[in-house]
Chain A
Amino acid sequence: MAANLDQIFIHLRDWLVAFLPVVLRPATGVLLSVIAIVCVFPGLFALTTVFERKGLGRIQNRLGPNRVGPFGFFQPIADGIKSLTKEDIVPLSANAGVHFLAPLVLVVTVFMGFAVLPMGRNMVLVDMDAGLLFFFAMGAATELSVFMAGWSSRNKYSLLGAMRAVAQMISYEVVLLLSSVSVVMISGSLSLPKIVDAQNQYTGVFPHWYIFTPWGLAGFIMYAIAATAETNRSPFDLPEGESELVAGYHTEYSGFKFALFFLGEYLAMFSISGLGTTLFLGGWSAPLSFLTFIPSWCWFFGKVMLSIFVFIWMRGTLPRLRQDQLMNFAWKFVLPFTLLDLMVTALWRFMGDGWLRWVVCTVILGTAYVFMARLQWRQKHIGPRSYRYAE
C-alpha cells in the first residue's frame, strides 16, 4: 500500500498512457509529466502568495487578506482575474519587442529548471548525466531576461534595478555554484537523482543527509544565503527596493506581464529551494528511517514548502541591505568561506571514515568563521549612532 502510494503519480501516468497506441506512448508520458509540472508549481505559487501575505500580516501585527472566500484563501483567484483583465501598458519609447520577450524568457527558463529536479522516487522528468549543470545553465539565462526587462522599459528606475539585480545575481551565482561543487565532490555525480540516492541511507534511524556533516552544514548556509540573493528576496531585495526604485526592473510592466514576473520570481524560489533540498536535505528521502512509509513526494514538497516558509519569515524579520554591504558580504565573507568549505570537503573526502574527520573539519570551519567574523567586525568602525529629524 505504502509503495503504491509512493508511486501513485507514476502509476497514474502509465495507466493513462496505456490507452494510446505504442508509438505515441513515450511522447505522451513526457507530455503528461510536463503538464503536471506546469500545473503543480503555479498552483503552489497561488497558495504561497496567500500564505506569504497572511504570514507577513501576522509578523507585522495585522490581519492580511481576509475578504475573498473563507479566510481570504481565494485571494489569488481574484488577483489572477484582475491581472488578466487589466490594461497592458507599454511605454511609448520602450523597445516593444524586447519588452514583450523579457517576461516570456524569464518564465520559460525558470520552468526548464524543474525538468531535472527529482520530486520523488522515480519522479524526475529527465535524468540527465549533467543535470546540475543544466539547472545552473537555465538559472544563468534568467539574468539576461532581467536585464532585457530593465533595459527595454526605457526608464531609469528600471535600468538601475536591472543593473543592481544582474550585479547581485552574478556575485552570488559564484557562491551558489561553489557550494554545490562540494556536494558533487562527495557524491561523485552531477546527476540529481544519484545525489539523492547517495543521501538516502541510514545509520540507525538517522539519515546520511549532507547537511548533517560539518562541510555540508557550512555549504548549506552559504547556499541558502546565495539562493536568497539569487531570487532577489529580502534582505537582498535591493533590485526592487520600493523606497528608491519604485519596483526595479518591472516598474513599467502591468497586467499579465507583471503577473508573469511575479510568477517567475516565485517559481525561481521553488526551484532553488528544490535544488537546495536535493543537494543538502536528502531530496525526497525521509528524515528518520521509520518514516519511510510516508510517500517520497510528500517529503520533497514538505521540505520545499518549509524552505519557502523560512524565506517568508526572513522577509518579515530582516531589514534590507545597502548595495555596498551586499557586495562586501558576497566577496569578502561568503565567497572566501565557500572556498574554504571546498577545501574542507576535499579533506573530508580523503580522510576516510572515523570520528577524526568530524573533529578536524568542525574545528577548521569553526575557527575560520570566528576569525573572519572578528576581523570584519573590527574593520567596521561603528561609531555612535546619529539621528537627523526633519525640521
Chain B
Amino acid sequence: MNFVFYLLAALTLGGGLAAVLLKHLVHSALATTVAFAGLALLFLQLDAQFAGFAQILVYIGAVAILIVFAILLTRGSDLPKGGVFSATWFVGLVIAAGVFAVLGWAVLISVEALPQQASVPAVTVHDIGIALVGRYVLPLEIVALLLTAATIGAVIVAMHEKGAPK
C-alpha cells in the first residue's frame, strides 16, 4: 500500500517537474498529462473510482488536448531563443512556495480537527449522484450556469462580426 503510494507520488511529482523543466512546450504538455495520470491513479489508490476516472476523462481527455491545441495554434511549439525560463522565476517560486505552505498548513491542521476515522467509508457512484442533485444541487447549478456563460462568451469571441471583412 505504502510502496504504491510512493511510486505514484514519484510519478506525479516527476511529471510535474518535467512539465516545468523541459525545454519543449509540447513535451511539457505531455509531462503535465503524466502528472494528471499520476493524480488519477492516486485517487484510484484511495478507492475513489469516480473521482479517478473523472480526472482521466476531464484532464487527460479534454484539458491536455486543449493545452496541446493551444500550443499548436499559437505557434508556441517553436523553441524560444532566450531560453524557456521567465525573468521573474524567483518571484514565481516564492509565490508557489507560499501557496504550498498555506495548503500544507491547512491540511495538517485538518488532521487534528477531524476525528480519525477507523474505516474508509464506501462511497458508490449512486451516493455521489444523490449528493450532487440533493444536498449540493445549488453549487452544481451555479457551476453549470458559469460554464454555460463561459461557452457563450467563447462563441462570441470566436464569431465573425457582422459586416466586418472575414
Render B13-30 as a binary contact track against A, CB cut-off 8 A, 1 for contact.
Answer: 000000000000011001
Q: If the complex has contacts A130-B49, A130-B50, A151-B26, are A140 and B57 also in contact, measured as CB distance less than 8 A? A: yes
Q: A148-B30, A151-B68 known; A137 and B53 CB under 8 Å?
A: yes
A128 contacts chain B at the CB level, 8 A cutoff: yes
Interface CB pairs A-B, < 8 A, 19? A98-B27, A128-B49, A129-B49, A129-B50, A130-B49, A130-B50, A133-B50, A133-B54, A133-B125, A137-B57, A139-B61, A140-B60, A140-B62, A141-B56, A144-B60, A144-B64, A144-B65, A159-B72, A188-B126
Closest to B61 in A: A140
Contact code string A161-177 (vs B, CB < 8 Å = 1, else 0)? 00100100010010000
Within residues 109 to 134 of chain A, which ones have a CB less than 8 A from any CB in chain B?
Answer: 128-130, 133-134
Q: A134-B53, A143-B65 are in contact. List 18 more A-B contacts (CB 8 A).
A: A98-B26, A98-B30, A129-B50, A129-B124, A130-B125, A133-B50, A133-B53, A133-B57, A136-B57, A137-B54, A139-B61, A141-B60, A141-B61, A144-B64, A151-B26, A163-B72, A173-B61, A188-B126
Bound together, the chains give a CA A118 to CA B72 distance in angstroms of 40
Which chain A residues border B49 with CB–CB below 8 Å?
128-130, 133-134
Complex CA gap A188/B130 in Å reads: 12
Q: Which residues of B contact A (CB under 8 A)?
A: 26-27, 30, 33, 49-50, 53-54, 56-57, 60-62, 64-65, 68-69, 72, 124-126
Which residue on B lies nearest to A190, using beta carbons? B125
Let me know if B125 and A129 touch, CB within 8 A.
yes
CB distance from B15 to the nearest CB of A (A): 13
Classify the secondary structure of A's interface with B: helix
Decide if A301 is an interface residue (CB 8 Å cutoff).
no
A214 to B54, CA, bound (A): 30
A270 in contact (CB, < 8 A): no
**Interface residues of A, CB < 8 Å — how many?**
25
Contact B50 A143, beta carbon cutoff 8 Å: no
Complex Cα gap A128–B125 (Å) = 10
Closest Cβ of chain A to B87, distance in Å, is: 28
- Write out the residue numbers on chain B whose beta carbons fall within 8 Å of the beta carbon of A140: 56-57, 60-62
Nearest chain B residue, comparing its CB with the CB of A159: B72
Q: How far is the CA of A98 from the CA of B27 in the complex (A)?
A: 9
CA distance A41 to B56 in the complex (A): 25
Chain B residue contacts of A129, Cβ below 8 A: 49-50, 124-125
Asked if B65 and A170 sit within 8 Å, CB to CB, the answer is yes
The yes or no answer to A210 lying at the interface (CB within 8 A) is no
Asked if A236 is an interface residue, CB under 8 A from chain B, the answer is: no
CB distance from B28 to the nearest CB of A (A): 12
- Given the complex of chains A and B, what is the CA–CA distance between A357 and B114 in angstroms? 50
- The yes or no answer to A223 lying at the interface (CB within 8 A) is no
Residues of chain A within 8 A of B68, CB atoms compared: 147, 151
Given A129-B124, A190-B125, answer yes or no on A170-B54 (Cβ-Cβ < 8 Å).
no
**A137-B33 contact given A143-B61, A173-B61, CB 8 Å threshold:** no
Interface centre among B49, B53, B54, B68 (most CB of A within 10 A): B53
CB-CB under 8 A from B125, the residues of chain A are 129-130, 133, 190
Hey, which chain B residues are within 8 Å of A128, CB to CB? 49
Which residues of chain A come closer than 8 Å to B124, judged between CB atoms?
A: 129
Q: Knowing A130-B125, A144-B33, A190-B125 are in contact, say whether A170-B62 is a contact too (CB < 8 A).
A: yes
CB distance from B92 to the nearest CB of A (A): 27
CA gap between A136 and B58 in the complex, in Å? 10
A130 touches B56 (CB 8 A): no
Collect the chain A residues with CB atoms within 8 Å of residue B53's CB.
130, 133-134, 136-137
A138 to B26, CA, bound (A): 21
Is the CB–CB distance between B62 and A137 below 8 Å?
no
Question: Bound state CA distance, A111 and B77, in angstroms?
Answer: 31
Are the C-beta atoms of A166 and B65 separated by less than 8 Å? yes
